[in-house]
Amino acid sequence: MRKILLNSFLFFVTLVLFTQCKKGDGDTLELVQIPKVITVEQMRDLPVGITNPIKAEKSGKIYIYQDFLFINEPSKGIHIYNNSNPSAPVNVAFLQIPGNVDLAVSNNILYADSYVDLLAFDLSAMENIKQVKRVKDVFKQFYFDNNSVQKRVVTYKDSLIRRNRSNNKQLMDASTSYSSTGQGGSMARFTLLNSHLYTVGQSDLSLFDIKTASNPVFVKSINLGWGVETIFPYENKLFIGTNRGMHIFNASDAANPVKLSTYSHVLACDPVVVQGKYAYVTLRTGNMCMQGTNQLEVVDIADASNPKLVAVYPMQNPHGLSVSGNNLFLCEGSYGLKTFNIADKNLIGKNLLQHLKGIKTFDVIAGPKSLIVTGDGGVYQFNYSNPNSLSQLSKISIQTSLLSNFWR
User: How sure is the predictor about 5, in pLDDT bands with cuts at 50, 70 and 90?
Assistant: very low
* 29-43 average pLDDT score: 72
C-alpha distances (whole Å) from 244 to each of 167, 240, 262, 272 are 38, 11, 9, 12
* 64-86 average pLDDT score: 96
Say how many Å lie between the first and final Cα of the chain, rounded: 17
Whole-number average pLDDT of the chain: 84
Alpha-carbon gap, residue 363 to 291, rounded angstroms = 21
Alpha-carbon gap, residue 271 to 232, rounded angstroms = 9
pLDDT at 54 over 90: yes
The predicted model scores a pTM of 0.84
pLDDT score for 36: 76
Residue 203, φ and ψ in degrees, nearest 5 = -145, 10
Q: Cβ neighbours of residue 221 under 8 Å, at least 6 residues apart?
A: 204, 205, 206, 207
User: How sure is the predictor about 173, in pLDDT bands with cuts at 50, 70 and 90?
Assistant: very low
* 371-384 average pLDDT score: 93
Bridge partners of 29, per DSSP, are 162
Q: Positive or negative, the Cα torsion across 40, 41, 42, 48?
A: positive
User: How sure is the predictor about 16, in pLDDT bands with cuts at 50, 70 and 90?
Assistant: very low
Long-range contacts of 133-139 (CB under 8 A, 24+ apart): 133/214, 133/215, 133/216, 134/44, 135/208, 135/216, 135/217, 135/218, 138/206, 138/208, 138/218, 139/113, 139/115, 139/199, 139/201, 139/206
pLDDT score for 9: 41
Helix (H, G, I), strand (E, B) or coil at 10: helix
Q: Phi-psi category of 91—alpha, beta or left, where left has phi over 0 and alpha has psi -120 to 50?
A: beta
* 168-192 average pLDDT score: 65
> Do the Cβ atoms of 315 and 296 come closer than 8 Å?
yes
pLDDT score for 293: 85
* 140-167 average pLDDT score: 58
Give residue-wise pLDDT tens across range 119-135: 999 999 998 999 999 99
Give residue-wise pLDDT tens across range 210-250: 999 999 999 999 999 888 989 999 999 999 998 888 999 99
DSSP sequence for 163-176:
EETTT--EEEE---
**Edge-to-edge strand order for the sheet containing 237-242?**
228-234, 237-242, 245-250, 258-264
Q: Cβ neighbours of residue 309 under 8 Å, at least 6 residues apart?
A: 263, 297, 298, 299, 300
pLDDT score for 238: 97
Q: Cβ neighbours of residue 191 under 8 Å, at least 6 residues apart?
A: 104, 184, 197, 198, 199, 231, 232, 233, 238
Residue of 306, 304, 313, 372 whose CA lies nearest to 337: 372
- Out of 1-15, 26-40, 121-135, 369-383, least confident range: 1-15
Higher-scoring residue by pLDDT: 407, 183: 183
> Do the Cβ atoms of 181 and 104 come closer than 8 Å?
yes
Alpha-carbon gap, residue 305 to 249, rounded angstroms = 9
C-alpha distances (whole Å) from 181 to each of 22, 34, 196, 337 are 51, 35, 11, 27
* Type of residue at 294: N
Per domain, the residue ranges of the chain are 1-176
Give residue-wise pLDDT tens across range 319-340: 999 999 999 999 999 999 999 9
